[in-house]
Homo-oligomer: A and B are copies of this chain.
Amino acid sequence: MATIKEIADRLGVSISTVSKGLNGATDVSIELRQTILDTAVEMGYVTKRMKKEEHRKLCLFIENMKYEAAGDFGYDIVLGFRQAAFRDNWRVEVLPVTPGFQAQEKYDTFMLKNGYSGAFLVGFALQDPWMEQLQDTGIATALFDNFVWKNPNVAYIGTDSFEGIDTAILHLQELGHKKIAFLNGSLHSMITECRQEAFYDSMEAHGLKVDPEMVANGYYVAESAKDFVPAFVERGATAIVCGNDLLAYGVLKECERLHKRVPEDISVIGFDDLPMSAVTAPPLTTIRQERAELGKCGYMALHSLMNHVSISKTLLRPAFIKRKSTAKAVDR
């Protein structure tokens, strides 16, 4: 647990300034106070107030997703959520879960028994036991990348996949690519299905033909690439769009093994813009999700639900990040 002195050192301000910021003194500017609070959350500082008010707490359930290191996809989502919740004096507990854990106890029961006022669920799969229970839950629940139809207590937060994939396809079309492969994660997730539909829609919208043998579902890990890239190359793909950056890292590696140069022979596009994507060889062209903002939106939606304002969905725009892994198509 961080001390006030450690926060002061990190920010280069005095201990008394940090102390004032944490206590809401008015002689610290709003911006500095916010920075102090955000840093305190990031460094794991716990105020006396938070220790006392244990009844005001939210849970962030996380599944199928790494979040503990700064380069992990979930890291900024969790941090953004905790920072935003902290501003309203909520204590946040982060709880990694599995389908087995969900099968043991009903969602509502678990929430009530543990005194959580609301939850943010991140990385859940469509067939997870709790997903079905969310259709009727009376507890304020925000979902990252999952949608529940007609329940006014549940909100969906995410990035607009259609716009993201369309920007990637348009970019490749402008570079002259026609044989475009799509390597996606496992279909048991709403967002995978969204991106796959977006790929088909976008190819059609830009007058490009999809080769069904060049659309594949592995898992959202680099190792999946080797199961599909050889066949894509065999069929003459000049570009591979990936469902996330981890898959794209695997594609880069696999292209190297097959002696295909990126981007000269094959263009590669990721999705997410993880920190590492700026330093791959070559640096990865990708579709950025603003993960810290998604975490904050998760809290804002949850806050609305807890105040009986039924947010149905909040989507952020993706940003297209052009780096060095895409180039003009070469006729093969």
Contacts and interface: CB of A to CB of B under 8 A. Distances in A.
Interface residues of A, number: 22
Interface string A155-180: 00000100100110000000000000
Nearest to A315: B312
Nearest to A150: B163
A306 interface: no
Contacts of A319: 152, 310
Query: Which of A152, A293, A300, A310 has the most CB atoms of chain B within a 10 A radius of its CB?
Result: A310
Contacts of A166: 150
A312 B163 contact: yes
Nearest to A294: B309
Contact of A290 (B167, B310, B317): B310
A316 B290 CA distance: 22
Given A149-B163, A167-B150, A310 B317 contact: yes
A253 interface: no
B314 A293 contact: no
Most buried by B among A149, A150, A152, A297: A150
A131 interface: no
